[in-house]
Amino acid sequence: MERINRLITNRDYRHYLAYNRKEEENRYFCRHQFEHLVSVARLTYLLLLEEGNSTFIGKEAAYAAGLLHDIGRWHQYRFGTEHEETSATLAEPLLEEAGFNTEENRLIIKAIKQHRLNLEEDTGNRHISPLGKALNRADKLSRLCISCGAKNECKKISRQPQKERLIY
């Protein structure tokens, strides 16, 4: 996990998390801070392991996708941009600095861009990679809606897998 530890101690990475924290200081609904990113990283890897895709993709790539997928969230609060695109743009130099190669970088960036797709409805002609699919599912599964105090007001609750029971 050497590259992952390089990534999470990167100065710019810490800045983006600090911006997210600041923007969500008074947020009532789900937050997008380090704890969420770590949960998503672990679940992404777990899902890949269960699906038998972990040899091809690897633990560090799975963790990198999870740890980076929401780093541009603050930009959405401030400027109304789509955070999957901002997160992907910000992630690229961080991945390079951490030592990920071009092919891994490409795979992780694509997964970040696809993390908000609705997998049930939006499969269309876009190819979703195993990493993209695992990240997308992990993002939803990371939320413990079953015990969330905001679930009655949450617009996403009908699509959340753990609204009534714990799955992971």
Q: Which stretches of the chain bind Fe ion, using CB under 5 A?
A: 70
Q: How far is the CB of 52 from Fe ion (least distance, A)?
A: 26
Are 151 and 110 contacting, i.e. CB atoms less than 8 angstroms apart?
no
Q: Which is nearer to Fe ion, 56 or 82 (CB)?
A: 82
Q: Which is nearer to Fe ion, 60 or 70 (CB)?
A: 70
Q: Which is nearer to Fe ion, 28 or 56 (CB)?
A: 28
Q: Which is nearer to Fe ion, 7 or 72 (CB)?
A: 72
Q: How far is the CB of 69 from Fe ion (least distance, A)?
A: 6
DSSP 56-97: HH-HHHHHHHHHHTTTTHHHHHHH---HHHHHHHHHHHHHHH
Give the residue at shortest CB distance from Fe ion: 70
Identity of the residue numbered 47: L
Q: How far is the CB of 83 from Fe ion (least distance, A)?
A: 6
Give the count of beta carbons closer than 10 Å to the beta carbon of residue 123: 12
Q: How far is the CB of 116 from Fe ion (least distance, A)?
A: 6
